[in-house]
Amino acid sequence: MPDLNINFAGIKAPNPFWLASAPPTNSGYQIMKAFDAGWGGAVWKTLGVPVINVSSRYGSINYRDTRMAGFNNIELITDRPLADNLKEIEEVKKYFPDHAVIASLMVETKAEWHQIIKDVENAGVDGIELNFGCPHGMCERGMGSAVGQEPAVLQTIVEWVMEVAKVPVITKLTPNISHIVDPGLAATRGGSNAISLVNTFKSIVGIDLDSFAPYPIVDGKGTNGGYCGPAIKPIALDMVKELAQHPEIQHVPISGIGGIETWRDAVEFILLGAGSVQVCTAAMHYGFGIVREMKAGLEQFMTDKGFETIYDFKGKALPNVTEWKNLNLMHKVVAKIDPAKCVGCDLCYIACDDGAHQAIRISKLNGNRIPEIIDENCVGCNLCALVCPVEECITMEKRDDGTKFKSWEELTIENNVPTSFDDELAGGKHHFVPTVQDALKFRK
Amino acid sequence: MAEFIRPKTEEEFEINFQQKKPLMNPTEAYFESSRCLFCYDAPCIQACPTGIDIPLFIKQITTKNLTGSAKTIYDSNWLGNACGAICPTGILCEGACVYNHQDVPPIQIGRLQNFATSYAIHENKNLFKIGPSNGRKVAIIGSGPAGIACACELRIMGYEVDIYEAKEKPSGLTLYGIAAYKITNEEVEREMDYLKNKLGLNFICNHPILEKFQLDELETSYDAIFLGIGIGPTAILNLPGEDKNNVIGAVEFIEELRKKHHEIKVPNHVVVIGGGNTAMDAASQSARLGAENITLAYRRSKSEMGAYGFEYKLAISSGVTSIFEAQPISIDGKDQAESVTFKRTKYNNGKLETIEGSEFVVMADLVIKATGQAKNSSILNLVEGMHTDNKNRIIVNEVSFQTTNPMYFAGGDAVNGGAEVVNAAYHGKMAAKGIEVWLNSFK
Ligand SMILES: Cc1cc2nc3c(=O)[nH]c(=O)nc-3n(C[C@H](O)[C@H](O)[C@H](O)COP(=O)(O)OP(=O)(O)OC[C@H]3O[C@@H](n4cnc5c(N)ncnc54)[C@H](O)[C@@H]3O)c2cc1C
Ligand SMILES: Cc1cc2nc3c(=O)[nH]c(=O)nc-3n(C[C@H](O)[C@H](O)[C@H](O)COP(=O)(O)O)c2cc1C
Ligand code: SF4
Ligand code: SF4
Ligand code: SF4
């Protein structure tokens, strides 16, 4: 049985699955229920300056029959009294001394920061998370993402915090910035013990076509919200990688957040260097019980691969995430269709013909709808395999023998890169392209 | 009118007995599993007698953790693979699926269950851990679903288990009773071999326990005994002519069919007597063996039949004719049955009566009696202090499955009088836990 225990910047937890600071961690009731369901830690719903929330708070993207493929909210930090939260933190820690309880905080002045840190430490938290993330509401008051977007301000506040904090401090970053390394560096230089990312993305999930207002609609008006859920995972993964690979930041533990719903998502974040993962939308969609799929899947993965702890594979994908210029230009894959599996939807054909490289043919002879790959035209872009609705029907076959390696970087050093527009060395020069007139034969 | 051509080869048999719930392919499993809503406190779980965490195992299929999915299933049900194919899911899990309320087809839970477990069996995955030996030994009598489930559960708790089986092969009615279009013999045997190998089950086949001295021996050599003996052969009807050559019990008919496949020859005119699921199975399978006229005769009305609606529909769609409110009076012919004489029935003050002068005759060169099974009373009477109810069902505690003789536990058809494999699987598992609690009470 693999050991899921983690020690994240000094914060210990029975497993890496933590609830992100959000509605699921609004109360001691919820957090205790979550721990019983199997979560290893929870970041308390952000405590801080007093707020008032609106009614009608969430909107979502339903992708076909999939609900909440993307989720957005215009909620602020907690609106519950600080004293109640502190009392509940204390109680939760009494019942669950071995689970990680982390207080997310957002206040304004240095004095306020110092005071609230003392308060939550007295209540018994295992760590503190600084919320520099909310891209709505709080930023208009100079907090949340307004801080996260100003690395210098962020660093100053982290320094204030580090002056007094006795428990590990995690700085939570907003992704609403073009270069995530900047706030990452500021947090590191400010002395933060760890970094978590991402908070939500500034977003408008849709417009009501009758009232002409953005969702979620509050009395005929709306505002940008924060976007999260499965849709944001790819961008979150990239940002985690950016920090995990940065020479000055890579020693800082990272808690990965963004669109995590299954064990696979969690493993991906860990492979890119995350030492714990946080989940909000999936818990809001399915309840705390969703963690049983994540935990069982992680355990099975570790058993299958022979990993005993998550530190056996944490960051294992990082060496394989490189810059484009280092990729092997000699690598060659070609699509292959399994005619026994093909159902003849011809989506691959039209995707390739209209959207890629005209490397698929359909004979239509005797009503045959099974397409054929034209090997010499296929550039190995993967598009057909991605659109094919049948599992493992189109596979990408490796055609190079694996003995040759040549990257753009090497070609540059050898002075062998194409330089003029019509250079013989350019990649697409000898690719097949139909004639312009060939397009006319499709006219009806 | 025969719907099916008489199968003369194994291939033709397989065509006629095409599986009702064939193995899904990966695309089918992916799409179907993706539809599951992951309901909270899901109604499908509540409807499963073994309480499998259905949304979890389905989500594990979507997330390509097939091993974990199979584990989730076996954690609750030791016959997970067979049950996926043979459970009457329409009245269990799938009948409870919330999609039914939207008139959207429910999730095909049974086939998904079969998909995940087939993967684990085929890939020989290690899902279980035999418990460290606790020095205790349990004898299991009967290797049907109840006995198997009890044995498996005991093994993971560290017990040594010997399973005594009267027949040549383990599995009970899963191998000899279930309709051949629900599961193949190979499938049943594959799961059995898998469990046997992974859990080190010790089967002692061709070894009926019928005598008092045998029980005495077991009582001295084991810490507890589990009875998973099912119910007996088809009961005697006390019908004139019942002893003719071509009059057979449904259970015996199906057993022969499961063993001989296309080599069993049914004549053209078959009369099946009864209105339960066994009657439906016998009729549907006679049709698939190529009989021309199959008459299903039930003494009460259609709405009073014990059979599930879908089993009746299957029989009818296989070309079977049904007669209701008809009671057999005699089976006629010389040595061979040639026809069955019926009388019409009606209710009189709530009592079923035959109507004078309403006789009619149905041609029959095979009569299949599906009118209930007799009880294995002999062995039951040998166990001291073990009580049965008025229907000869062993009385057990409903949590521990302990009988009134504390050393004996029991489950499956012997306890419920005949239900489904999934119920027997649940009983066996619970009895194993009951045995553990009981033996621990002496510590
Ligand atoms: C015709 C028919 C069709 C059915 N169809 C379905 C279906 O589609 N789906 C479904 O879920 N269920 C079905 N069932 C019900 C299901 O088969 C039973 O509920 C289930 O097999 C009961 O399991 P069990 O372990 O209690 O008994 P059994 O399966 O009957 O097993 C009992 C075992 O004990 C052995 N045994 C008995 N006495 C002794 C002894 N004295 N010594 C040693 N061994 C002994 C027997 O040989 C047998 O192997 C069907 C039943 C019948 C009769
Ligand atoms: C309704 C809602 C409220 C949130 N409130 C907070 C908050 O108070 N503090 C905070 O740091 N993050 C907050 N978040 C952001 C989440 O903690 C998390 O970073 C984000 O949702 C991405 O994770 P996910 O894709 O798993 O949802 C909130 C998110 C949602 C959906
Ligand atoms: S989820 Fe609960 S709080 Fe929110 S709108 Fe529905 S009932 Fe109200
Ligand atoms: S997309 Fe897949 S299924 Fe459709 S035609 Fe192409 S190969 Fe066949
Ligand atoms: S009831 Fe249906 S949709 Fe809901 S969890 Fe069960 S199978 Fe899935």
- For atom 7 of ligand 4, the residue with the nearest CA is A342
* pLDDT computed for residue A380 by the predictor: 96
A316 assigned to some structural domain? yes
* pLDDT computed for residue A322 by the predictor: 97
- Of B337, B369, B401, the last residue of a domain is B369
Query: Are A351 and A316 contained in the same domain?
Result: no
* Whole-number Cα distances in Å, B265 to A6, B9, B290, B321: 67, 12, 9, 20
**Count of residues making up chain B:** 443
Q: Is A134 a catalytic residue?
A: yes
Calpha distance A312→A271 (Å, rounded): 10
Probe residue for ligand 4, chosen from A334, A341, A342, A374 as the CB with the greatest number of ligand atoms within 8 Å: A342
- Token digits of residue B47: 């409807």
B242 assigned to some structural domain? no
Question: Given the structure tokens 């390739």, which residue do they identify?
Answer: A352
- Residue of B40, B60, B63 with shortest CB distance to A289: B40
Q: Is the pLDDT of residue B137 over 70?
A: yes
> Phi and psi dihedrals of A180, rounded to 5?
-65, -20
User: Which contacts qualify for A247-252: CB closer than 8 Å, 24 or more apart?
Assistant: A248/A185, A248/A188, A249/A181, A249/A184, A249/A185, A249/A188, A249/A195, A252/A9, A252/A187, A252/A188, A252/A192, A252/A193, A252/A194, A252/A195
Give the distance from residue B26's alpha carbon to the nearest chain A alpha carbon, in angstroms: 6
Best of A68, A293, A299 to disrupt the B interface (most B CBs within 10 Å) is A293
Q: How many domains does chain B have?
A: 3
Structural domain boundaries enclosing A285: 6-320
Alpha-helix runs per DSSP H in A326-405: 347-355, 383-387
Three-class secondary structure of residue B236 per DSSP: coil
Alpha-helix runs per DSSP H in A197-290: 233-245, 263-271, 281-286
Residue A77, domain CATH: 3.20.20.70
Query: Are A291 and A373 contained in the same domain?
Result: no
> Phi and psi dihedrals of A58, rounded to 5?
-120, 150
> Phi and psi dihedrals of A51, rounded to 5?
-135, 170
Residues enclosing ligand 2, CB less than 6 A? A 20-23, 45-46, 71, 73, 75, 77, 104, 131, 133, 172, 199-200, 228-229, 232, 257-260, 279-282
Query: Are B345 and B413 contained in the same domain?
Result: no
B238 assigned to some structural domain? no
- Token digits of residue A228: 């999260």
Per-residue pLDDT of B327-371, as tens digits, reads: 999 999 999 999 999 999 999 999 999 999 999 999 999 999 999
Give the distance from residue B249's alpha carbon to the nearest chain A alpha carbon, in angstroms: 45
* Whole-number Cα distances in Å, A336 to A47, A326, A356, A377, B128: 55, 27, 16, 13, 39
B183 assigned to some structural domain? yes
Given an 8 Å threshold on Cβ–Cβ distance, is A296 in contact with B72? yes
ipTM of the complex: 0.86
* pLDDT computed for residue A144 by the predictor: 81
Query: Are B73 and B103 contained in the same domain?
Result: yes
Query: Are B201 and B148 contained in the same domain?
Result: yes
| Region label for A441, one of left (φ > 0), alpha (ψ between -120 and 50) or beta (otherwise) | alpha
Query: Are A103 and A37 contained in the same domain?
Result: yes
pTM for the full predicted model: 0.91
Contact B4, B16 (CB under 8 A): yes
pLDDT by 10s per residue, chain A, length 444: 899 999 999 999 999 999 999 999 999 999 999 999 999 999 999 999 999 999 999 999 999 889 999 999 999 999 999 999 999 999 999 999 999 999 999 999 999 999 999 999 999 999 999 999 888 888 888 888 888 899 999 999 999 999 999 999 999 999 999 999 999 999 999 999 999 999 999 999 999 999 999 999 999 999 999 999 999 999 999 999 999 999 999 999 999 999 999 999 999 999 999 999 999 999 999 999 999 999 999 999 999 999 999 999 999 999 999 999 999 999 999 999 999 999 999 999 999 999 999 999 998 788 889 999 999 999 999 999 999 999 899 999 999 999 999 999 999 999 999 998 888 888 877 788 999 999 999 888
The count of other CB atoms within 10 Å of the CB of residue B363 is 14
Q: How many domains does chain A have?
A: 2
Per-residue pLDDT of B290-316, as tens digits, reads: 999 999 999 999 999 999 999 999 999
Calpha distance B51→B57 (Å, rounded): 12
- Residue of B30, B40, B65 with shortest CB distance to A391: B30
Contact A27, A19 (CB under 8 A): no
Alpha-helix runs per DSSP H in A131-232: 145-148, 151-164, 181-190
Given an 8 Å threshold on Cβ–Cβ distance, is A304 in contact with B67? yes
Reference B306, options B353, B247, B372, B365; nearest CA is B372
Reference B406, options B251, B223, B275; nearest CA is B223
Query: Are A99 and A200 contained in the same domain?
Result: yes
The angle subtended at Cα A288 by Cα A283 and Cα A291, nearest 5°, is 90
Query: Are B363 and B390 contained in the same domain?
Result: no
Probe residue for ligand 5, chosen from B31, B34, B39 as the CB with the greatest number of ligand atoms within 8 Å: B39
Residues facing B141 on adjacent strands: B164, B227
Reference B177, options B281, B66, B23; nearest CA is B281
Contact A263, A301 (CB under 8 A): yes
- Of B327, B345, B369, the last residue of a domain is B369
Give the distance from residue B145's alpha carbon to the nearest chain A alpha carbon, in angstroms: 27
Count Cβ neighbours within 10 Å for each residue of B233-255 and write b for 16 or more, e otherwise: ebeebebebeebebbbbbbebbb
Query: Are B354 and B337 contained in the same domain?
Result: yes
- Residue of B27, B53, B63 with shortest CB distance to A262: B63
B247: which DSSP letter?
E
Query: Are B333 and B260 contained in the same domain?
Result: yes
Contact A142, A108 (CB under 8 A): yes
A124 assigned to some structural domain? yes
Reference B298, options B373, B232, B370; nearest CA is B370
A80: which DSSP letter?
S
| CA B123, chain centre distance (Å) | 26
Residue B186, domain CATH: 3.50.50.60
Structural domain boundaries enclosing B251: 247-369
A360 assigned to some structural domain? yes
Three-class secondary structure of residue A6 per DSSP: strand
> Phi and psi dihedrals of A85, rounded to 5?
-60, -45
- Of A265, A297, A320, the last residue of a domain is A320
The identity of residue A65, as a single letter, is D
Residues facing B351 on adjacent strands: B348
Q: How far is the CA of A26 from the centre of ligand 3 (A)?
A: 14
Given an 8 Å threshold on Cβ–Cβ distance, is B60 in contact with A304? no
Mean pLDDT, range B103-124, rounded to an integer: 98
Query: Are A433 and A301 contained in the same domain?
Result: no
> Which atom number of ligand 4 is nearest to the Cα of residue A384?
1
Query: Are A69 and A122 contained in the same domain?
Result: yes
B9 assigned to some structural domain? no
* pLDDT computed for residue A126 by the predictor: 98
Q: What DSSP element (H or E) covers B185?
A: helix B185-199
Calpha distance B25→A105 (Å, rounded): 50
